[in-house]
Structure 1
Amino acid sequence: MKRYPGEALRAGVVSVFGALDFDVRPNGVSPRRLPDWTRLQVPQVMDAMVRMPSGVRLAFSTDAQEIRLTVQTSRLEFSPLPARPAVFDLVVDGAVVQSHATVAGNTIRLDRTDPGKFELLRGEPDEIVFKDLTPGLKACEIWLPHNAYVELRALEIDDGATLSPVPAPTTRRWIHYGSSISHCLEALQPTGVWPAVAARLGGMHLHSLGFGGQCHLDQFVARTIRKSDADLISLKVGINVINGDTLRERAFTPALHGFLDTIREGKPDTPIVLVSPIFCPSAETRPGPTVPDASGRFVTLPGHEEIQTGCLTLVRVRAILAEAVAARRAAGDANLHYLDGLSLFGADDAGDLPDDLHPNPEGYIRMGHRFADAVFTGGLRLG
């Protein structure tokens, strides 16, 4: 087998789409979804999500009939639930042809009741093998796990086979920003996260900035989007602000406008779709924060109503987002659009919301189809 070390992957032996930076380690490299200059600004709790490669894939052309990828994964375990497998999907000429799961590697045992507490259980690297591929030159993408850290240690192909990077497209580029409901840790495989489902249906080139728990209208994300190559931008915001009770209405509304203003400084005419939160029963009419109860369902906390003036609920957040879009369109931004998150996942879908916050795998796939129908082939007809 012909072997390419991890550093060669970072250096351009293959294309890496969906990542803007890498952590360089003694034995390999790990992709990051935000650029290097953001490191000083990213909070530590968010850095964990930046390093988790939801939507990241290796893209290349090869005539190999066997591909081996040596990886060191670090999977999250939310005690008492076991850590889920890390899955690698191989897409050949646009079709998912093989998926391989691994339970090797490190395990990071977390405590839902204490986000700062964790235990690292070290494990061994693993080799992901895709074999019996069709002969001849083919366009390949290896989608990396959406739910684990991934250190890329080596890529191997058949002796005598060719390998070349795939150039980045110059059109149909989509960058999406969102919360855990865009990160999609609960999906079964990386091509099952809803932005990936929608992108594949719409023929779009995805860069996902869905960060579990960390969608708070941070300016370093807006500046990243401002500098991006994008033909479509979507922003699915609001739920994390309620989850953490991080902004009240007085701060949320100008923060939203500031986020949009920053993007518009570099992308004055690029279509932007502002998406409101999906259905979350406990926070529809009650303000956050939301916390998991003994059964793992996310609930809001009662009490202190006398100091909740300006606290946000989902009903109010959706109204603020719709009003902001209407006002900015009236002021001349015809390429800004509003999409009601309830049209992606509403009360009728609650059976696929096992923890009352995050959809299950079937719910995410449905969201991807609905977004593609609404934005790529439906009423907005963008991209």
Structure 2
Amino acid sequence: MTTALTTTPLTGDLVRGALELEPTPRGVLPQRLPARARAQGADPQLSMAASQPSGVRVALRTSATVLELDVLPTKRAYVGAPPRPDGTYDLLVDGRLVARGSVQGGSVLTVDPRAGTFEVSPGEPGTLRFDGLPPGAKDVEVWLPHDETTELVALRTDAPVAPLPDRGRRTWLHHGSSISQGSGAQSPSTTWPAVAALAAGVELVNVGLGGSALLDPFTARALRGTPADVVSVKVGINLVNADLMRRRALGPALHGFLDTVREGHPDAPLLLVTPLLCPIHEDTPGPAAFDEQALAEGRVRFRATGDPAERAQGRLTLRVVREELRRVHTQRAAEDPHLHLLDGLELYGEADAAELPLPDALHPDAATHRRVGERFAGLAFGPGGPFAARCPA
């Protein structure tokens, strides 16, 4: 006889890693920036990234052997680019990955990078089903797709559920770019921040925002208001590939961003991370653009379009950004003993690029995400790392 499934409301105590659950006509939409921040940054790219639930998971304690999740995904389609695969959901039981799934259909967001347009074609929800879960009480986490907007509609199980018990785990709040969001990773629990968080045994709140790690004041205020034990800020690549500012503006903007974060986390270890190696932007300013020849061949690849000679006029490259981040860190560290710096080249440098080149010239592949996550876990959370005392193993 088939056991009837019971529906449980999807409330904040069952959804971890989101800064806000936005009510919708069908359910709730996990957002990684609060409504006020999203209103102040009315940019379609930012809105898309904030609504993609990187690091967000439905987390519960249950004896259920069957779990169903109704969701309304919003797929992305880029004009002129190959079709994208469906988003991946990772099922972790007692911290171990046991299954993956995806949901077909849903809405479609069509992006035309050349025209700068974003158009949504509405769709219907689908159902993600995991059965054959091990019997007995267990911790269950469904990590939502890191790169696909996911509206949560309903949760059904064949046994009661409860929020995960408090085991005193520390919270790591991280902000970064599309690499931090997980672009190029195999699945949501294998983005580099997820790999690092799972290795270190900490709760992850990932505010990695594709194309939008731009030192925006509203993002700094969102970080300020989010509870955390340790905080990291990884900036640089978006400042270059968006060609957003010049060297004169970078230092003051970074100071202001860190000042705001510090207001909410005055004594927390705060780690400033410089950019990973990205050969096309090491010495060539942005903006970045699609490689038209690659698109014509059915491949996605990016190129830098700036003029290296204009570095003298303050155009940003990654080498310039690293210099400025080191300078700001040195200046602030004299008064802030809890501020630390991590050179992104220690996470992914020239030797790594020779072995594992960036497939599209901007984003790492799945193997590189794992390498970066493992290295970050060791350097930040390992013995002698800036997070080690606050987040003991």
Q: TM-score, normalised by structure 1?
A: 0.93
Correspondences of 1:117-136 after superposition (within 5 Å): 117-136=117-136
Alignment correspondent of 2:185: 187
Aligned partner of 2:16 in structure 1 is: 17
8 Å contact kept, 1:3–1:154: no
> C-alpha displacement at 1:346, in angstroms?
1.3
Corresponding position of 1:299: 303
Letter in 2 for 1:28: G
2:322 aligned with 1:322, yes or no?
no
Determine the C-alpha separation between the residues in 1 that align with 2:118 and 2:386. 45
Q: Report if aligned partners of 1:199, 1:372 keep a CA contact under 8 Å in 2.
A: yes
More off after superposition, 187-196 vs 37-46: 37-46
In structure 2, the CA distance between the partners of 1:155 and 1:377, relative to structure 1 (3 Å rule), is same
Amino acid at match of 1:373: G
Percent of paired sites with the same residue: 42
Aligned to 2:162: 164
1:38-87 CA distance string (max 9 Å, x none): 23212222111111100001111111110011111111123421121111
The Cα of 1:362 is off from its aligned counterpart by: 1.1
- Counterpart of 2:132, as a letter, is D
Q: Deviations over 1:305-357 (max 9, x none)?
A: 46961111111111111121122112x21111111111111122223301111
The equivalent of 2:217 in structure 1 is: 219
Does the 8 A contact of 2:284 with 2:308 survive in 1? no
Cα deviation for residue 275 of structure 1 reads: 0.4
Q: Distance in 2 between matches of 1:366 and 1:374?
A: 12
- Counterpart of 2:266, as a letter, is P
Mapping of residues 264-343 of structure 1, within 5 Å: 264-294=262-292, 295=294, 296-303=300-307, 305=309, 309-330=313-334, 332-343=335-346
Amino acid at match of 1:309: Q
Relative to 1, partners in 2 of residues 1:308 and 1:47: Cα closer, same or farther, differing over 3 Å?
Answer: farther
Which residue of structure 2 aligns with residue 361 of structure 1?
A: 366
CA distance in 1, matches of 2:311, 2:269: 39
1:248 and 2:253 correspond: no
What is the alpha-carbon distance in structure 2 between the residues aligned to residue 23 and residue 224 of structure 1? 15
Q: Tell me which residue corresponds to 1:197.
A: 195
Separation in 2, partners of 1:288, 1:232: 32
1:148 is matched with: 148
Deviation at 1:2, TM superposition (A): 3.3
User: Retained in 2: the 8 A contact 1:20–1:36?
Assistant: no
Matches within 5 A, 1:41-56: 41-45=40-44, 46-56=46-56
Moved more, 75-84 or 187-196: 75-84
Code of the aligned partner of 2:243: D
| Cα distance, 1:379 vs structure 2 | 4.0
RMSD: 1.9
- In structure 1, what is the Cα distance between the partners aligned to 2:306 and 2:264? 43
Tell which deviates more after alignment, 47-56 or 161-170: 161-170
Aligned pairs for 1:86-101 within 5 A: 86-101=87-102
Q: 2:311 & 2:142 partners in 1: Cα distance?
A: 50
Question: Shift in Å at residue 9 of structure 1?
Answer: 0.6
Q: Find the aligned partners of 1:247 and 1:102 in 2 and give their Cα distance.
A: 40
Q: For residues 195-222 of structure 1, give each alpha carbon's deviation from its aligned partner in whole angstroms, at most 9, with x where no partner exists.
A: 0010000111100000000001111111
1:27 aligns with 26
Residues 6, 160 of structure 2: 8 Å contact kept: no
Deviation at 1:381, TM superposition (A): 4.8
Cα–Cα, structure 1 residues 319 and 306, in superposed 2: closer, same or farther, change >3 Å? Answer: closer
Query: Aligned equivalents of 2:196 and 2:169: distance in 1?
Result: 16
1:220-262 per-residue CA deviation (whole Å, 9 max, x = no partner) reads 1111222221111000001101111111111110010111111
One-letter amino acid of the counterpart of residue 329, structure 1: A
Does structure 1 retain, via aligned residues, the 8 Å contact 2:286–2:306? no
Q: Which amino acid in structure 1 is aligned with residue 220 of structure 2?
A: A
Q: Give the 3-state SS of the residue equivalent to 2:263 in structure 1.
A: helix
Letter matched to residue 282 of structure 1: I
Question: Could you tell me whether the CA contact under 8 Å between 2:20 and 2:30 is conserved in 1?
Answer: yes
Partner Cα distance (2:340, 2:243) in 1: 26
For 2:341, give the aligned amino acid.
Y
Q: TM-score, normalised by structure 2?
A: 0.90
Is the CA contact 2:77–2:110 (under 8 Å) kept in the aligned structure 1? yes
Return the match for 2:381 from 365, 376, 382. Answer: 376
| CA distance in structure 2 between the aligned counterparts of 1:108 and 1:180, rounded to whole angstroms | 18
Give the Å deviation of 1:119.
4.5
Structure 1 Cα separation of the partners of residues 87 and 308 of structure 2: 42
Match of 1:352 among 352, 357, 365: 357
AA aligned to 1:270 is A
1:169 and 1:205 in contact (8 A); partners too: no
Contact 2:311 2:317 in 1 (8 A): no
Which amino acid in structure 2 is aligned with residue 281 of structure 1?
P
CA contact (8 A) 2:86 2:102 kept: yes
Structure 2: how far apart are the matches of 1:281 and 1:328? 29
The match for 1:40 is: 39
1:82 maps to 83
